[in-house]
Amino acid sequence: MASNRFTNIHSHIFTSTEVPDYFLKTIIGNDWIARNLNSLFQKKMTLNAMKPILWAMKAISPNYRNSIERYIEFIQIGASSTQGEIFDREASAYSGIGNYRIVVLTQMLDYLDVNSKSNHKRIQTQVEEVVQLKRDANYQKRLYPFLSVDPRMTFMEPIDWVQKYISKDMGFYGIKMYPAYGFFPFDARLDPVYEWAEKYEVPIMTHCTRGGSWYLGTFDSVLNKGGFMAPGLNEDHASMTKIRGRINSLIADKDKHKNNKYWCNIFGHIENYEPVLAKYPNLKICFAHMGGATEILRPKKDKSYPKYFDDNWYEMILDKLANHKNTYTDISYTLSNEKAMARIKSDYVDKDFLKYKVLYGTDFFLTQVEKKGDEPNMLSTFLQLFDQASIQKIAYDNNENYLKSKIHPTP
Ligand SMILES: [Zn+2]
């Protein structure tokens, strides 16, 4: 059935008080800039107060001149005092669009580095704040929250956590996962969650790029000697042999162990979903970002990765979408890259199965660090790129099918 609600399926409204002190390190490529901006971020300075510092930083780092301004913009949004304020800012981009809703993904950042201390508010508080927003008549009809789940959570069993919040009473609609923070999607501790999600047709959103942010602890703290390597929920499945082979190749590839951005790719590798989908073939899951612009544009002959790590995530996602019925993907973040979107558009036109699988999303406000990444720009890029019939599918109908579950039959 045709939906009449425009939907942004992927965005974030957490404030700086919800993220660990060291979080910016993973968003901003340059360490020195990240450290300096982070101290401003924690102090919650106004843009005016930041200006002299900003100029000094620009003078010292000419290569980052333009991006510093965007980083500041990003930080300004994050430094808003409530999640409601950040939502308002995002929502203002849609005021001209009529009937709309925005999916807000909570983010469990408490295990980003098991060795460092941080004073941020924990996930329980982040989620409770969102529950209050969802109960507020001003937000209720437009805000659709997803619940972050991590198999390492110790304050509650993951299954109790999802059953409590993904309910009519608490108002959450789906599950958010971020394997690059240090866990495998086939982790056996997630098994009951998948079983429940499949049974109730509850949507899962999972981060799928080689970049973004990632686990900041040591390689050995999650893999290798003394570290933890998750038992698979479907250990006998044929794909596990390949997956274990890849993990072992990485363990042997010692000079990569210091580069977290690189080795954390092991967690979100698309093949890791194969044993999950084999066990739960009707699982409703969205592979976010379509693998990311870098991967979409990476030439076949590219030598950035050794053979065991070389699979193209975009192609692997297309393969998942073609072969598993309740799988989806979204164009969030990737929408800020013109060339990647041209490739997506042409594949969308060519491949029939994609017509029911692609969802509009932006990844607000993490995209703020990109040149055309602010919300009004992202929306207009999308509206200009696709024709009316495709917009109806990508921003209305597909999203509604994805959101619909036995918990919320009419989202
Ligand atoms: Zn995101």
The domain that contains 384 carries what CATH number? Answer: 3.20.20.140
392, 2 Cβ separation under 8 angstroms: yes
334: in domain:
yes
Give the separation between CA 55 and CA 185, rounded to whole angstroms.
43
Cα-to-centroid distance, 107 and ligand 1 (Å): 9
Q: What is the 3-state secondary structure (H, E, C) of 159-197?
A: HHHHHHHCCCCCCCCEEEECHHHCCCCCEHHHHHHHHHH
49 pLDDT higher than 80: no
Identify the pLDDT of residue 144: 98
Cα-to-centroid distance, 10 and ligand 1 (Å): 6
27: in domain:
no
Cα-to-centroid distance, 60 and ligand 1 (Å): 31
204: in domain:
yes
CA angle (410 as vertex; 137, 169 as ends), nearest 5 = 50
Which of 362, 379, 403 is CA-nearest to residue 3?
A: 403
**Complete DSSP assignment for 86-130:** HHHHHHGGGTTSSSEEEEEE----TTS-TTS---PPPHHHHHHHH
367: in domain:
yes
Across 119-138, average pLDDT: 93
Cα-to-centroid distance, 195 and ligand 1 (Å): 24
Structural domain range at position 231: 6-14+82-403
Position 377: which residue type?
A: N
Cα-to-centroid distance, 178 and ligand 1 (Å): 9
Phi, psi of 217, rounded to the nearest 5 degrees: -80, -175
Ligand 1 is a single-atom ion; what residues have CB below 5 A from it? Answer: 363
Cα-to-centroid distance, 225 and ligand 1 (Å): 32
Q: Which residue has the tokens 């660990």?
A: 20
58: in domain:
no
Structure tokens at 228: 């933890």
19: in domain:
no
3-class DSSP state of 78: helix
Cα-to-centroid distance, 17 and ligand 1 (Å): 18
Across 360-364, average pLDDT: 96
Dihedral angle, C-alpha 107, 110, 111, 112, nearest 10 °: 70
Which of 282, 276, 274 is CA-nearest to residue 198?
A: 282
pLDDT in tens, 224-270: 776 777 789 999 999 999 999 999 999 999 999 999 999 999 999 99
CA angle (362 as vertex; 391, 138 as ends), nearest 5 = 90
Indicate the range of 278-287, 298-307, 316-325 predicted with least confidence. 298-307
CA distances from 333 to 12, 363, 380 (A): 12, 5, 14
Position 13: which residue type?
A: I
Cα-to-centroid distance, 333 and ligand 1 (Å): 8
Greatest mean pLDDT among 17-21, 64-68, 224-228, 273-277: 273-277
Confidence at 43, pLDDT banded by 50, 70, 90: low
Cα-to-centroid distance, 109 and ligand 1 (Å): 13
Cα-to-centroid distance, 56 and ligand 1 (Å): 31
> How many domains, in total, are found in the chain?
1
3-class DSSP state of 216: coil
Phi, psi of 328, rounded to the nearest 5 degrees: -135, 170
Cα-to-centroid distance, 289 and ligand 1 (Å): 8
52: in domain:
no
DSSP assignment letter at 10 = E
Structural Rg of the chain based on CA atoms: 20
Cα-to-centroid distance, 205 and ligand 1 (Å): 9
Q: What is the mean pLDDT of the chain?
A: 90
Cα-to-centroid distance, 409 and ligand 1 (Å): 25
Cα-to-centroid distance, 226 and ligand 1 (Å): 31
Listed in sequence order, the residues at least 6 apart from 391 whose beta carbon sits closer than 8 Å to its beta carbon are 382, 383
3-class DSSP state of 203: coil
Cα-to-centroid distance, 363 and ligand 1 (Å): 5
Cα-to-centroid distance, 11 and ligand 1 (Å): 6
39: in domain:
no
Cα-to-centroid distance, 207 and ligand 1 (Å): 7
pTM, entire model: 0.92
Cα-to-centroid distance, 213 and ligand 1 (Å): 10
